[in-house]
Structure 1
Amino acid sequence: MKTSSFIIAAPTSNSGKTTVTLGLLRLLKNKGYTTQPFKSGPDYIDPKFHKIACGKTGINLDLFMMREEHLKSTYHELANKVDISCIEGVMGLFDGARKSEGSTAELAKKLDVPIIFVVDAKSVAYSVAPLLYGFKNFDPDLNIAGVIFNRVNTKSHYKFLEEACDDVGIKALGHVPFIEECKIPSRHLGLSIDNLSKYDQMIGKMADQMNETIAIDQLLSITQKEKTILEIEEEMSNSDFKISVAQDEGFNFSYYQNIDALKQLGTVKFFSPIHDQELPDSDLVYFPGGYPECYTQELSSNTNMRDSIKNYAENGGQIIAECGGMMYLGKSMIDQKGNEWSMVGVFPFTSSMKKMKLTLGYRKIDMHDFTIKGHEFHYSKVHDDENVETIGTVWSAREQEVPTKIYQHNTVLASYIHFYFGEVGDLQQLLHHLQNNHVSSVKR
């Protein structure tokens, strides 16, 4: 059985990948197709836009954090359930952590999917030909199946671009005009998830426009391929092992694969640190990142929940907390205005949003008994953590040691790093470490 699969890529960031991806997802939905979106890299925001566009959250595919076979099985298992698979790439086509390692180009080759190239043509006409020629021929193993030109407002302009495609040997699949009210905002920490729904109408308008100017049937035809048949392993889960996952306005940055791994380990229940009054009965609690800095007053005022979590932690409860989750487990949080809000107090440090400075990058964490990978992206900073026990050594994608800390208190593990434990084996190793090594934590 055949399906259409493709990856949206571009020469550079800010070429219009997200705009085109969202418009295509909505257009395909309007035409009655079932589509599974994916996102290259560790992004949490674009997958939420994907859900607004087509009803399905984008699934992260990351060559640094995921083993190749795990990445392929994740992709094919979900792709086999739908008519169309659409992957939104990241940055420029060949931009990776080290040259093109982990780039959109490498992902396209690993999954053997064709590329739909998005080019911002606002200030270029026939001169796009050598650009396309270069990208087409730089890596002959890539299949750039077609091009969509962004910010093209006239037929005469598009004609030059079509001619360039003809001479280079790449199919021109249409163009998207610049529409002021259809601009996608910059995706960064601090963008309220509550407000994302307001872009539904904008995405609809973009889809209507693309229906007029994009050769959608041709796009689907040139990206058809046979579905990959997988051997499905039977999942084993201990229903008596109770796992609670924080999920609300403040905590919503979690990888699909992480949650799936938790479900394979036990029974998962979601709870809200903002709205619920106490922690559910739990054998493990997972606090993913999110926007707790946007809800400091609500989190601070919910003293019943704070007390419940601290009591759980002080009595041997297992917790994994990442970024915003780590900030919530600290003594307090300082917002951008300088107001300090009391938090759970499992750790004695304070996190602050004042004097914001971006820290980001892939991370590899070497514990003394195993290695786990993740990604760091935050603007806040931790203060008063000098006497907090830390474990492990943290490295960048380029194997340079970085000062990011992994805090541990009893069986509570917390860090700015968003851990990737999408394979059950990685999660089991992490829990084994918590259960057996909390006494031997060392101070840096």
Structure 2
Amino acid sequence: MAAGRGVILAAPSSGAGKTTVTLALLRLLAQRGVAVRGAKSGPDYIDPKFHEAACGRVCLNLDAWAMTRTRVAALARDGRDEGLLVIEGAMGLFDGAPPDGRGAVADLARDLALPVVLVVDAGRMAQSVVPLVAGFAGHDPGVRVAGVILNKVGSARHAGMLRRALEPLGLPVLGAMPRRADLAMPSRHLGLVQAGERADLEAFLDRAAEALEAGVPGDRPFDLEALMALATGLPQAGDVPGMVPPAQRIAVAQDRAFAFAYPHLLRDWRAGGAGITLFSPLMDDPVPQADFVYLPGGYPELHAGRIAASEVFLTSLRAHAETRPVYGECGGYMVLGEGLVDAEGTRHRMAGLLGLETSFQTRRMHLGYRRLRADSGLMQGDWAGHEFHYATTLKAEGEALFQAWDAEGTRLEDMGLRRGHVAGSFAHVIDRA
């Protein structure tokens, strides 16, 4: 494998199975001894943990909406000069934020000059695969579709029909992955179940790798060498300043209720000289000695009873907040409030550091990129972020944290709250704007 090369796996739409195919490929490459790592397009917290489990390397987010091109290029290289980077796209290849699709995986393909392998759900088609693939391959001359992986293929006969139909396009069909119930990825309302919640994760990853490598029984096996040959060199990237750490000693909550901290954010803080100590509110850990406490997002609504009963954690958090900063995002923000109502209608007492009451009894989706600005205080400056949750705000009393705009530049209601040394909002901050 040549130094610093990459390839993108994308699909015509969500639901094509590109996450399963990506995990299978990462595990297969790792089993073959290839130095491989994954990356995920866009603001996703769940898929990257599966990538990490599949190949043993940390998966970074590459966000063409929230990050500059130079920042994306620097993260793609990740300071390494060897190995293969496999980027998993989000949604469809050309799907991005309104109004013009900015932030799509196609933007990564252009900016990084990497080839795209199109993962096609062929489960309910035969010759109709041709105009689909031809349309995506010819849509944008700046996006090079270099190969195809057929997914959810029913039989060798089905695979043969698809391969023969695609031959005139001149695009290599790298493999045909069979349709199998045991390769399904369970999900919940915010996406896939977290990697740490699957007791069978290792067995699943091995099954997926075996299914990809062998292909449909009676058809040819996956052409791993051809895929690796398609990969092209990653662009050079100079030194790009990351996000400055908010303090020298940072305590970060990390467990199943607080799982959504971007790896690039924590890396930036460490690179800036900060020491990071992890702790688990669900284990009722006390807040470590630190100058700044960060409660990232996650699923506090699924663990609200345990959080409410974690008196050591809550008492130490309140004591810390009397003199030093605490910042919460999305799930962490809700925990900083006074109460959280779960899906069954039970109210659970939270930290009481912000005048916030939230509920999951009546769900309402909030989704989209956000431009954020704080003129003073804990998060002063301009930020690019993302909001994705189903919580309903019952009460939000106090000073707002951010002014906010959506991806189209429309001014939104102010977001978040701040009180004393405590601040938070539903937005996940991705980078400086």
Alpha-carbon distance in 1 for matches of 2:244, 2:370: 29
What CA distance in whole angstroms lies between the structure 2 residues aligned with 1:198 and 1:188?
A: 21
Structure 2 unaligned blocks of 5 or more: 216-221
| Aligned with residue 399 of structure 1, among 405, 409, 413 | 409
Alignment of 1:17-416 (within 5 A): 17-77=18-78, 80=80, 82-98=82-98, 99-186=100-187, 188-189=189-190, 191=193, 194-213=196-215, 214-223=222-231, 225-226=232-233, 228-231=235-238, 241-263=248-270, 264-315=272-323, 317-368=324-375, 370-385=381-396, 387-403=397-413, 405-416=415-426
In structure 2, give the amino acid aligned to 1:420.
I
Q: Tell me, which stretches of 5 or more residues in structure 1 are unaligned?
A: 427-444
Structure-1 separation of matches of 2:241 and 2:350: 41
**Corresponding residue of 2:218:** none
Task: Check the 8 A contact 2:321/2:421 in 1, yes or no.
Answer: yes
1:404 touches 1:416 (CA, 8 Å); kept in 2?
Answer: no
**TM-score, length basis structure 1:** 0.89
The 1-side partners of 2:3 and 2:321 are apart by 50
**Gap change, CA 1:234 and 1:296, over 3 Å in 2:** closer
- Cα contact 1:239–1:267 (8 A) shared by 2: no
Separation of aligned partners in 2, 1:395 and 1:161: 45
Q: CA deviation at 1:204?
A: 1.0
CA RMSD of aligned residues (A): 2.3
CA separation in 2, counterparts of 1:277 and 1:220?
A: 45
After TM superposition, give the deviation of residue 362 of structure 1 in Å: 0.7
Q: Identity of counterpart residues, as a percentage?
A: 34
TM normalised by structure 2 equals 0.91
Deviation at 1:103?
Answer: 0.5
**1:140 and 1:233 mapped to 2: Cα distance?**
29
Going from structure 1 to structure 2, the CA distance change for 1:192 and 1:212 (only over 3 Å counts) comes to: closer
**Greater helix fraction, Structure 1 or Structure 2:** 1
**Per-residue deviation, residues 171-199 of structure 1 (Å, max 9, x unmatched):** 11110110111111235438355423423
Letter of the 2:403 counterpart? T
Q: Which amino acid aligns with 1:376?
A: E
Instruction: Give, as a single letter, the amino acid of the residue that structure 1 aligns with 2:402.
Output: G
